[in-house]
């Protein structure tokens, strides 16, 4: 997959979150966006997912321009699977209904077909028997796996994972990381924002390092972690990998 | 509650009860009951009570509809709609029902040629109650977290689908308990329709009173009749509150 950013700028009030990003990111399956908090990773992910529109500049995905305007953006978003840090499941629906809703309401599947596909996914994500439970009755790790199932069920062209394990304890983190690793071996394409450096190192084909609203550095996962080029990245890695 | 507070509460209730009992006893002693005179008019009471029920039901249905429209109007994309809804809610909530009845019935309904006083009464009561329900629904909608709306956007739901699948079902738990309370208010407020000559429960009691000159015997059944309607509704409201509190 190939992403091309052309002078993408995003501001919140006076604060420039993305500062005229011009870059090409190419990766076979997994791109990790890394960097310090407030560096613009999540915002960049949201721009890629069509949840935010940049003030200026444009972005193409595999040569196709990310649209502007509510209606084309909605169609665009519906083909991208997004997983949020705090899962954002619908609390009034059980796990099964959460996974089925986009299928029936947005993608026009019949209830039966949607149910079959959702049940199969629940099984694959080790959630058999939890389909009738509401999010409040599930553990954090289970919730995040339901959220991943919801995102994967639509057969997205691209999956976006925004700090999927930041709100989880170590054991649940392990459950979820395992599922994400499975996604890679299934050959899915996804972009991951994470602070789990060791995981990023093991799973990312390509890494983009963001700080102060810019892509400071990019390279293969291997190269980035063994020999970061920029001083910012060197300092960042030294700090986060120290303990 | 501490033991001290419990004792205080018990004593207060006992004192209040004693006072009330004394007052009632004094009044009842002074009066000679005339139940047989009032009993002859039981049909009038009954008819008025039934009218109050269906007037309240109609007003409840209509005011939920009005409240929903006004609540959505306050969140509309067009400023004119937002101002219109806000103006309606503030205007109605800021004036007494009695004043609205007088103006809307004798001025507005008259001007537009609305002759049916029952229809006019139900409409005015709905307009009044709708403003309060609008605020309940708005509160319910606004209680839905931003992350929920973002999730709806991410999976590609349209505005209407977001309301239908995400906002309304979740807002319901916030809206239902106060809505049940509002239903009890409508029942009580409908008594004011008596001033328009609508033959509901209160007017019926007034008619019986003027025919029999038995004030207490006319108005005691009135209070009991309203309680028979509002108590179950209040109980339902309490139930709903408990149920939804447990679920969250």
Q: Which domains are assigned to chain B? A: 41-247 (1.10.3720.10)
Closest listed residue to residue A164, CA positions, set A74, A70, A26, A41: A41
As its CATH architecture, domain A1-79+159-243 has 3-Layer(aba) Sandwich (3.40)
Q: What average pLDDT score do residues B100-110 get?
A: 93
Q: What average pLDDT score do residues B194-210 get?
A: 92
Partner-chain contact B156 A82, CB within 8 Å: no
Look at residue B248 and tell me whether its pLDDT is greater than 60.
Answer: no
Among A119-128, A133-142, B15-24, B94-103, which stretch is predicted with the lowest mean pLDDT?
Answer: B15-24
Q: Which of residues 16-55 of A touch B (CB under 8 A)?
A: 49, 51
Look at residue A145 and tell me whether its pLDDT is greater than 60.
Answer: yes
In angstroms, the separation between the Cα of residue B93 and the nearest Cα of chain A is 32
Q: What average pLDDT score do residues B95-113 get?
A: 93
Contacting residues of A for B148, CB less than 8 Å apart: 88, 90
pLDDT in tens, A155-208: 999 999 999 999 899 999 999 999 999 999 999 999 999 999 999 999 999 999
Partner-chain contact A77 B156, CB within 8 Å: yes
Contacting residues of B for A49, CB less than 8 Å apart: 154
- Residue B7 confidence class, pLDDT cut points 50, 70, 90: confident
Closest listed residue to residue A18, CA positions, set A193, A212, A162, A194: A212
Token pair for B183: 């239903």
Partner-chain contact B155 A90, CB within 8 Å: no
Task: Give B186's contacts (C-beta < 8 A, 6+ positions apart).
Answer: B56, B59, B60, B63, B125, B129
* pLDDT in the model for residue A223: 92
Q: What average pLDDT score do residues B128-144 get?
A: 95
How many CB pairs below 8 A link A and B?
A: 52
Domain boundaries, chain A: 1-79+159-243, 89-156
Look at residue B110 and tell me whether its pLDDT is greater than 90.
Answer: no
* pLDDT in the model for residue B172: 87
């Amino acid at each position: 997959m190939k992403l091309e950013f052309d002078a993408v700028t995003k501001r919140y009030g006076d604060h420039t979150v993305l500062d005229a990003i011009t870059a090409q990111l190419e990766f076979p399956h997994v791109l990790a966006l890394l960097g310090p908090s407030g560096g613009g990773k999540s915002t960049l992910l949201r721009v890629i997912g069509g949840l935010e529109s940049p003030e200026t500049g444009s972005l193409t995905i595999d040569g196709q321009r990310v649209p502007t305007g509510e209606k084309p953006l909605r169609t665009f978003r519906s083909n991208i699977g997004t997983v949020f840090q705090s899962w954002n499941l619908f609390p009034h629906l059980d796990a099964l209904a959460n996974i089925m809703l986009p299928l029936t309401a947005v993608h026009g599947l019949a209830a039966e077909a949607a149910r079959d596909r959702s049940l199969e996914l629940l099984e694959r994500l080790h959630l058999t028997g939890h389909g009738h439970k509401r999010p409040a009755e599930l553990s954090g790790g289970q919730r995040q796996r339901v959220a991943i199932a919801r995102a994967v069920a639509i057969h997205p062209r691209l999956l976006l994972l925004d700090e999927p394990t930041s709100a989880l304890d170590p054991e649940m983190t392990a459950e979820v990381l395992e599922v994400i690793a499975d996604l890679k071996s299934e050959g899915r394409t996804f972009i991951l924002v994470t602070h789990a450096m060791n995981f990023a190192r093991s799973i990312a084909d390509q890494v983009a390092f963001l700080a102060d609203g810019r892509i400071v550095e990019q390279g293969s996962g291997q190269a980035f972690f063994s020999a970061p080029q920029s001083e910012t990245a060197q300092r960042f890695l030294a700090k986060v990998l120290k303990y | 509650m501490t033991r001290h507070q419990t004792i205080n509460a018990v004593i207060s209730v006992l004192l209040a009860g004693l006072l009330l009992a004394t007052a009632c006893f004094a009044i009842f002693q002074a009066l000679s009951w005339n139940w047989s005179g009032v009993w002859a008019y039981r049909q009038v009471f009954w008819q008025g009570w039934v009218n109050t029920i269906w007037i309240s039901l109609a007003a409840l249905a209509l005011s939920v509809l009005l409240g929903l429209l006004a609540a959505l109007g306050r969140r509309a994309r067009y400023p004119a709609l937002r101002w219109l809804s806000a103006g309606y809610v503030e205007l109605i909530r800021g004036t007494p029902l009695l004043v609205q009845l007088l103006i809307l019935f004798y001025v507005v309904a008259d001007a537009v040629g609305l002759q049916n006083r029952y229809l006019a009464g139900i409409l005015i009561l709905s307009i009044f109650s709708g403003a309060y329900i609008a605020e309940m629904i708005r509160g319910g909608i606004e209680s839905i977290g931003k992350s929920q709306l973002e999730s709806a956007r991410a999976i590609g739901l349209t505005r209407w689908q977001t309301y239908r699948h995400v906002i309304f079902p979740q807002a319901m738990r916030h809206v239902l308990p106060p809505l049940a309370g509002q239903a009890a208010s409508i029942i009580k407020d409908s008594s004011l329709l008596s001033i328009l000559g609508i033959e509901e429960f209160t007017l019926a009691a007034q008619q019986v009173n003027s025919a029999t000159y038995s004030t207490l015997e006319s108005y005691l059944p009135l209070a009991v009749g309203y309680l028979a309607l509002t108590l179950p509704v209040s109980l339902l409201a309490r139930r709903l509150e408990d149920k939804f509190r447990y679920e969250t």
